Amino acid sequence: MRQLPLFPVTVVGSLPRPPSLLEAMTLARQGRLAPAELEACVQSAVEAAIRLQEECGVDVVSDGEQGRPDFYSFIAQRVDGVELLSLKDLARHVEDRPLFERLLADLDIPLSSVRLPVVVASLRRRDSLAMRELQRAQRLTDRPIKVALPGPYLLTCSAWVQALSSVSYPDQEALGRDVVSLLRREVEDLGEAGCEFVQFDEPMLADVAFSEPEERGNMLRAALSRRVDPDRELAFAVDLINRVVEGFEPLRTGLHVCRGHCAAQDRIRLRGSYHRLLPYFGQMKIRQFVLEYASEQEDNLEALARLPDDREIGLGVLNPRTAEMEPVETVISKTRRLARAIGPERIFLNPDCGFEAFAHRPVNTTTGAAAKLRVLALAAARLRRSFAES
Ligand SMILES: [Zn+2]
């Protein structure tokens, strides 16, 4: 593990994809572009994404998730037993179809435009989830690389749909066992290959913690209206993640939670403070919690001091969904506040979320993302200077 400067600057995962890549992805999906041609497009997009991060001063870079259609459905391409179903197909199988359709209408999502991974048979790894992404990125940069993977709770709970999954897995606990094995193998491979930061994306934890049963905030959850006891769900999430990461210290592991993964507009984003999750975070054997503190009104950063003192915070200080630029002074003062509460050595700086978690739903432009990342790097440089002097 290489030594990093104070306040390392990183990204949460995705960066905007170039229009040529989006077009190539569409053509490939329709069978009108050969895999090798798609790969060439991905390769040049990853190269551009990495150059952009280097130029903007990002210390721990990602491949911008350029090769993925979104942050988690790509597992259907790499694991047998997982199929992508459109929401229209899925609606036929969910337990509470009226609720599901009402939420989709609220979210303004056409039933046919989104496809979710669903377990339809026993899982079998056909290909590594992210090794090729790591190796491609390693050929393009000397900087430490972060790889994001869908978290075990997301995979277990969003992909298990009783009508389709119960033939192979009677319940989520049974599926969880195979998901844990799948992810453990991946973490082991990534660590051995020199990956320096593996982040698990668990947006559904926000959903479990913040939404009331009668107003479940997003479509993933809507499809999953079976279990509504948040404490039981969160305990299950802790157990799954701990089984995935056990024995892999000192690899830096991270857990990213955010409240707006499916929603472009702020009005349908979940609201709520992370306090509810802190006791569960404290039980997770995860090194870093990558959280959003830019786009949320309530931001009692000091509460993070309740976490065990060997844990880091990936502090979200930029809203990836807006064109307005956060003033560097705001980023600095927020970071200072957290540094007073938990010490400067435990803080990474990052945006609240990816810049393009879904390829079909960009939330920013490449220029906008670059400008925001430069703000982060500038804030980090000033903070480092002042902490070195003090
Ligand atoms: Zn996010």
How far, in Å, from the CA of 33 to the mean position of ligand 1? 30
CA of 269 to the centre of ligand 1 (A): 11
Collapsing DSSP to helix, strand or coil, 34 comes out as coil
Q: Is the pLDDT of residue 308 over 70?
A: yes
pLDDT digits (tens, 9 = 90+) for 160-183: 988 999 999 999 999 999 999 999
12-21, 66-75, 105-114, 296-305: least confident range: 105-114
CA of 171 to the centre of ligand 1 (A): 27
What is the CA(362)–ligand 1 centre distance, in A? Answer: 13
Tokens 């982040």, residue located: 199
Query: Residue 79, class by beta-carbon neighbours within 10 Å (0-12 exposed, 13-18 middle, 19+ buried)?
Result: buried
Q: What is the pLDDT of residue 30?
A: 93
Q: Mind listing the pLDDT tens digit for each residue in 179-232?
A: 999 999 999 999 999 999 999 999 888 877 776 544 444 445 544 544 568 888
Can you give the pLDDT at residue 311? 97
237-283 pLDDT, tens digit per residue, is 999 999 999 999 889 999 999 876 444 455 455 566 788 899 999 99
Question: Looking at the predicted structure, is the pLDDT value of residue 348 above 50?
Answer: yes
Question: Could you count the other beta carbons within 10 Å of the beta carbon of residue 308?
Answer: 9
Whether domain 19-71+130-211+227-389 has CATH 3.40.50.1860: the reply is no
> Which letter does DSSP use for residue 340 in this model?
H
DSSP-derived letter for residue 320 is T
For ligand 1, the distance from its centroid to the CA atom of residue 86, given in whole angstroms, is 22
* Domain edges within the chain: 19-71+130-211+227-389
Q: Directed axis angle between helix 172-192 and helix 131-138, to 10°?
A: 20
Distance in angstroms (rounded) separating the CA atoms of residues 36 and 25: 12
Cα(49)–Cα(32) distance, rounded to whole angstroms? 25
pLDDT at residue 54 in the model: 98
How much distance in Å is there from the Cα of 385 to the middle of ligand 1? 30
Spacing, Cα 32 to ligand 1 middle (Å): 32
Q: Distance, CA 148 to ligand 1 centroid (Å)?
A: 11
Find out whether 69 and 79 touch, Cβ atoms under 8 Å: no
- Residue 168 alpha carbon to ligand 1 centre in Å: 30
Token pair in block for residue 65 = 């998730």
Q: Please answer whether residues 31 and 374 qualify as being in contact, where contact means their C-beta atoms are separated by less than 8 angstroms.
A: no
From ligand 1's centre to the CA of 151, what distance in Å? 12
Confidence of residue 109 (pLDDT cuts 50, 70, 90): low
Distance (angstroms) between ligand 1 centre and the Cα of 248 equals 24
Q: How far is the CA of 292 from the centre of ligand 1 (A)?
A: 8
Q: Which of 27-41, 50-64, 87-101 has the lowest mean pLDDT?
A: 87-101
Paired tokens of 334: 């927020």
Q: How far away, in angstroms, is 252 Cα from ligand 1 center?
A: 19
Lowest mean pLDDT among 81-85, 101-105, 278-282, 371-375: 101-105
